[in-house]
Amino acid sequence: MKIVMLGAPGAGKGTQAKMIAARYEIPHISTGDIFRANIKEGTELGKKAKAFMDQGLLVPDELTLELIMDRFAKDDCANGYVLDGFPRTIAQAEALTASLRKNGDALDYAIDVDVPDEDIVKRMGGRRACLACGGTFHILFNPPKKEGVCDLCGGELSIRKDDEPETVQKRLNVYHAQTQPLIDYYTEEGILKSVDGTQEVGKVFEDIVEILNG
């Protein structure tokens, strides 16, 4: 079962990817994890990626794809995987499809966790982080006992720059411009399945399981 996860930042696709991986005993693969693992192990591909990252540059698509295909070749991917965070653009999606085809392989599902922009702004804008211990809360879903104060250490809670409404909206604009077209791409490939990501986490997962168990 080879799955790619789609969804806007803050839609909860990473959480769902981990739950799918645990349920079906397949690895959850994110590009960040691949980069870190290869850099830590000092592989040739890792060294190449590190050279870009050390300069504050994005790792080129070609190298990212090479790292992903190398990860797919590992034994734990024999029964499939959940790919999270790649592809982000049509060019990346086409390159991934072509690389898989070369190996006589293909993705089984592209799962889109669909959440409207206004819900994402609300979700992310409600997050609060403790500057002292790193604890995280949400003013609606997981509020601290005392407003503005961390339950864990008593430190001050604040909104991270990343979670400010203007920043969130900018990230969503980038997502709609670059990544939203993947919905059309995977629809044409015949593998797109969409779930309502505004529901409770467990219900979203139930809907995904229903799709995967077909």
pLDDT tens figures, 21-54: 999 999 999 988 899 999 999 999 999 999 999 9
- Of 188, 194, 159, the C-alpha closest to 94 is 188
- Domains in the chain: boundaries: 2-27+74-115+169-213
Q: Could you list the active site residues? A: 13, 88, 127, 160, 171
Looking at 3.30.460.80, 3.60.140.10, 3.40.50.2300, 3.40.50.300, the CATH number of the domain 2-27+74-115+169-213 comes to: 3.40.50.300
Run of H or E including 205 = helix 201-213
- What is the pTM (predicted TM-score) of this model? 0.85
Cross-strand partners of 211: none
Quote the CA–CA distance of 28 and 206 in Å, as a whole number. Answer: 18
**For 88-97, how does the pLDDT look when each residue is reduced to its tens digit (9 = 90+)?**
999 999 999 9
Helix axes 90-102, 61-72, angle to 10 degrees: 40
